[in-house]
Structure 1
Amino acid sequence: MDILNFIINFISSMGLGEQISIATGLIYIVLSVRQNSLCWPFGIISVGIWMTIVFQGKLYSDAFLQFIYVVLGFYGWYQWLRGGTDSEPLKVQRLSAKMALKLTGMGLIAFLPAGYAAEHYLHASYPWWDALTTVLSLIAQYLLAKKYIENWILWIIADVMYIGIYHLKGWTGYSGLMAVYTIMAVIGYMQWLKSYQAERVKLCQPV
């Protein structure tokens, strides 16, 4: 009963927008781990609401990130449904070393000006951490949209950082959500790896 009361009080302390965003966000992460394309509309709703909240909290890089998430949400939705061979549903894939180096370089190039702008022009809260998590999350979201397993590794790193940032901002609901996301990202990595390995075995079997 004490645990139930704690959960009820915890949820009641949030605003309506935060409650809806968290609920749809949880549905999104569960469905994405299960490779269910319905994750995308729930994700679009969740980040759309969260975009307005973090903008008001002066996390401008994070607000911009949520806007890009909305765009990538529609892109990922299409990719999962029609992005495979002959417009078939997209299958789980691995990131090549060449592409990994390319994305790393792009991330480093984007991080420095983003952090500088956030600190000196936007006067954002925790500008360099905000910029770093933004860059990591953008790359991770693109990899998720293309069903690369490695997206979960980047999400684990970014979500751990977000736990601290949101806690310092006083957004305990979202800090807790990021903790759940971190756990789900670990599960997602393991589940997608199994799916990838099963598909590879299947392709190697004689017809």
Structure 2
Amino acid sequence: MLEIFAEAGSFVGSFVAAMGWPERISTLTGLIYIFLSVRQNPLCWPFGILSVGIWMVVVFTGKLYSDAFLQLVYVVLGFYGWYQWLRGGEDHTPLLVRHVGRKLGVRLGLIGVAATVPTWLIMSRVLDAAFPFWDALTTVVSLIAQYLLAKKYLENWVLWVIADIIYIFIYYLKGWNGYAVLMAIYTTMAVVGYVQWRKTMQVPDFREKSA
């Protein structure tokens, strides 16, 4: 057992050592962001904005312009989510956790399909992506998940689990084992987030306020 922990520690150490300081800060603030979002702490949003903002600069300097644009969208959604969590409820009160209704679910599903197809074509014919369909699908699913997180819908965690699991396989097939492990950590935290948020919905005071 000790050997397993030692190997895991060595792997993580090597993975971190291979990163530049911007990547390290982005990863650390990203983990803090997820941890605080699981706990429904609005302070998650400035950490999330910092994380994706740094990563946006990193990928832009690396000429990954589509990825940089995606991070810019995350930054905008970060400010939107920060406001929503603090004043997006009734009478500008903090938002409460809620379920996605049938109408919204259908609408987001149609938007997802409509957005995935052209994104897939762009990924395959213009950007020459390694895994165009899966790249397009994870991009669209992640954006919808981020919107649901900003609006404090419980189902955001389900979408994050789906996206992160796909990312695990993409990164593994690309030989990026470190990032695959990171996505596995994100997947675990998303599952915890779902469980923790669902518990808050079962508190009597919560149901009374959200009725």
Per the normalisation by structure 1, the TM-score is 0.89
2:27 to 17, 22, 30: 22
Closer, same or farther in 2 for the Cα pair 1:25/1:16, shift >3 Å? same
Q: Does 1:144 align with 2:144?
A: no
1:63 Cα deviation (Å)? 3.6
Mapped partners of 2:202, 2:91: distance in 1: 22
Which range is displaced more, 54-63 or 184-193? 54-63
Closer, same or farther in 2 for the Cα pair 1:48/1:41, shift >3 Å? same
Structure 2 gap ranges (5+)? none
1:49 Cα deviation (Å)? 2.4
Deviations 1:74-105, CA, capped at 9 Å, x for gaps: 00000001101111111111110111011000
Deviations 1:15-73, CA, capped at 9 Å, x for gaps: 22221111011100000000000101111111122234455677665443222111100
- Preserved contact between residue 35 and residue 189 of structure 2 (Cα < 8 Å): yes
- Preserved contact between residue 141 and residue 151 of structure 1 (Cα < 8 Å): yes
Deviations 1:151-172, CA, capped at 9 Å, x for gaps: 0000000001111223334444
Q: Does 1:84 align with 2:121?
A: no
Mapped partners of 1:166, 1:73: distance in 2: 25
1:123 Cα deviation (Å)? 1.9
Mapped partners of 2:66, 2:11: distance in 1: 32
Alignment correspondent of 2:165: 160
Relative contact order (alpha carbons < 8 A, sep ≥ 6): 1 or 2 greater?
Answer: 1
1:192 Cα deviation (Å)? 0.5
Alignment correspondent of 1:103: 108
Percent identity among equivalent residues?
Answer: 60
Alignment correspondent of 1:132: 137
- Preserved contact between residue 82 and residue 90 of structure 1 (Cα < 8 Å): yes
- Preserved contact between residue 61 and residue 118 of structure 1 (Cα < 8 Å): no
* RMSD of aligned Cα (Å): 2.2
Alignment correspondent of 1:178: 183
